[in-house]
Amino acid sequence: MTFQISHDSEIATFNLNSKILMSRPIQFNNHPFRFLLYLEWILLTLAISTSMLPEHSPRLASKFPELTIGCLIVFGLMGLRLPTSNQKNKIIYTAIEILLLLLIGLYGGKTARLFPFLYLILVTRSCLIFQLYGRLVVTGMSFALFLITLNARSPRRLQPQDIEKFRFFTFNTALLFGLSLLFVLLLMNTVLSERQSREKLAIANEQLRQYALRIENQATLEERNRIAREIHDSLGHSLTALNLQLETALKLWQSNPTKAQVFLARAKELGSKALKDVRQSVSAMRTNPLQDKSLAQAIAILLDDFHRAHGVIPISRINIDNPPPTEINIAVYRIIQESLTNISKYANATEIILELTTTKNSLYLMIQDNGRGFDIQQNTTGFGLQSMRDRTLALGGDFNINSNPGSGCQITVELPLPRFMK
């Protein structure tokens, strides 16, 4: 029977967080680029002021100055609230903007001299509300409308010698304006990409901080539970037996002093054992059990201590080509330590095999004994197994147990190694 737990890594929900951030309409208080608003207001103020000044040339005079001013004001106010959640609202919003700019270009008189800059504002706004495809469409429409408006306002009667000059001037103006639109589009795409990267990084940092806090709290709770179990299983048992031995010795002290001394001697042994258990628990609680030792050296000391305490010589095969980082070393050490503790308390094994190997991509650990084994279906929630499982999953690995009553137990752990080690 095999019991396997696969790691389900937590995927950062960047897309969901981005949708939440982008679902709110962009207003003045949450506008991503305040300087764009200020630039819009400067250009619009200049355009309104120009339309209000008297013009001596009839050709440059505005046909409908009130309409021009109204369109400029509405266009400016629309910049205070950009839609970002509904595609239909985005299209309607952009269509209204294009209509306003078309009216300004056709009837704005000398104000029309500034309308190419207003198209630049249109492109920058489209970058804030559309994805790349929508931005390209709006940029293309802006350029097309510019050509239409430029053609509508061009003089109809020209001298033959001026036609070529006018065509050259129109071509240069259109080319310059097209390059300006392309530059603004590329610049906004770059700025927005950089801003999205910062937002994703901020979200990732916050998620990492929250995850680190959870791991820290979980580790603290696990350590408390482990200490509680150690006290209950070892120290508590020893002190209970010690108390029974002392009570028996007191009862026999008057009637049978010789037998009472036997119980006192046994009580002394139990006291020594309790003191040893306390020292082992304190030693196991150290933050870094390796203490400037390599993982192979720390494991060798651990196996040697196990041999001296229980008389069983573990067979170890350790092949570490790439030394793992500290957090992986500590996790592997604790898993081996917990496995040996469980074997000593419950397995009654006479043979233990430990294998530890590393590759470019992963670390593989196997601990096998020939002890009593157990029913996995009834023994999967103990603290020892849960602790090893949690340590493995926290590092993105796989934790497996294979055991049956009377056929020993095999624990395998596979941990991915960081890329920078490859």
The single residue listed with the structure tokens 């009377």 is 406
Which two structure tokens, joined as six digits, stand for 264? Answer: 């006192």
Q: What is the pLDDT at residue 178? A: 86
* pLDDT of 206 strictly over 80: yes
* pLDDT of 245 strictly over 90: no
- Write the CATH number of the domain with boundaries 1-10+286-422: 3.30.565.10
* pLDDT of 54 strictly over 80: no
* pLDDT of 368 strictly over 90: yes
Q: What is the pLDDT at residue 391? A: 85
In angstroms, the Cα distances linking 337 to 3, 153, 310, 396 are: 21, 86, 14, 20
Listed in sequence order, the residues at least 6 apart from 312 whose beta carbon sits closer than 8 Å to its beta carbon are 306, 349, 350, 351, 352
Which two structure tokens, joined as six digits, stand for 403? Answer: 């055991």
Which two structure tokens, joined as six digits, stand for 232? Answer: 């209950």
Q: What is the pLDDT at residue 357? A: 94
Per 3-state DSSP, the chain is made up of helix, strand and coil in percentages (nearest 5) of: 70, 10, 25
Residue 416: pLDDT band (50, 70, 90) is very high
257 vs 284, residue with greater confidence: 257
Over range 157-165, report the average pLDDT. 69
Q: What is the pLDDT at residue 420? A: 53
Residue 356: pLDDT band (50, 70, 90) is very high
**Per mean pLDDT, which range of 64-68, 135-139, 143-147, 360-364 is the poorest?**
64-68
**Per mean pLDDT, which range of 18-27, 147-156, 371-380 is the poorest?**
18-27
360 three-class SS: coil
Please name the amino acid found at residue 344.
S
Q: Give me the helices (H) in 153-289, please.
A: 160-230, 236-252, 257-284
Longest CA–CA separation in the chain, Å: 141
Cβ atoms 406, 9 nearer than 8 A: no
* pLDDT of 216 strictly over 70: yes
CB-based contacts of 169-178 (< 8 A; 24+ apart in sequence): 174/143, 174/146, 174/147, 174/150, 177/116, 177/119, 177/143, 177/146, 178/143
* pLDDT of 265 strictly over 80: yes
Q: What is the pLDDT at residue 191? A: 83
Instruction: Say which DSSP state 10 is in.
Output: P
Q: What is the pLDDT at residue 118? A: 80
**Per mean pLDDT, which range of 124-128, 259-263, 377-381 is the poorest?**
377-381
Q: What is the pLDDT at residue 401? A: 92
Would you say the C-alpha torsion 137, 141, 143, 144 has a positive or negative sign? positive
374 vs 47, residue with greater confidence: 374
Q: What is the pLDDT at residue 353? A: 95
92-130 pLDDT, tens digit each: 888 888 888 888 777 765 555 556 778 888 888 888 888
Instruction: Identify which of 381, 386, 393, 298 has the alpha carbon closest to the alpha carbon of residue 337.
Output: 298
DSSP string, 79-108: TTEE--S-HHHHHHHHHHHHHHHHHHHHH-
DSSP string, 271-334: HHHHHHHHHHHHHHT-S-SSTT--HHHHHHHHHHHHHHHHS---EEEEE-SSPPPHHHHHHHHH
Listed in sequence order, the residues at least 6 apart from 110 whose beta carbon sits closer than 8 Å to its beta carbon are 50, 51, 55, 60, 61, 62
How would you class 8 by CB atoms within 10 Å of its CB: exposed for 0-12, middle for 13-18, buried for 19 or more? exposed
**Per mean pLDDT, which range of 9-18, 336-345, 377-386 is the poorest?**
9-18
Please name the amino acid found at residue 126.
S
Please name the amino acid found at residue 88.
K
* pLDDT of 268 strictly over 70: yes
29-52 pLDDT, tens digit each: 555 667 777 777 787 777 777 766
> In this prediction, what percent of the chain has a pLDDT beyond 90?
10
Instruction: Identify which of 44, 2, 91, 6 has the alpha carbon closest to the alpha carbon of residue 397.
Output: 6
117 three-class SS: helix
Residue 313: pLDDT band (50, 70, 90) is confident
Query: What's this model's pTM, rounded to 2 decimal places?
Result: 0.45
Listed in sequence order, the residues at least 6 apart from 239 whose beta carbon sits closer than 8 Å to its beta carbon are 270, 274
Residue 422: pLDDT band (50, 70, 90) is very low
**C-beta atoms surrounding 69 within 10 Å:** 19
Q: What is the pLDDT at residue 87? A: 84
* pLDDT of 263 strictly over 80: yes
Q: What is the pLDDT at residue 355? A: 96
Distance CA 98, CA 142 (A): 8
* pLDDT of 379 strictly over 70: no
Q: What is the pLDDT at residue 122? A: 84
- Average pLDDT, rounded, for the chain: 78
Q: What is the pLDDT at residue 365? A: 96
223-232 pLDDT, tens digit each: 777 677 666 6
Break the chain into its structural domains and give their ranges: 1-10+286-422, 14-153+161-210
Residue 402: pLDDT band (50, 70, 90) is very high
* pLDDT of 286 strictly over 80: no
73-98 pLDDT, tens digit each: 888 888 778 887 788 888 888 888 88
Distance CA 345, CA 335 (A): 15
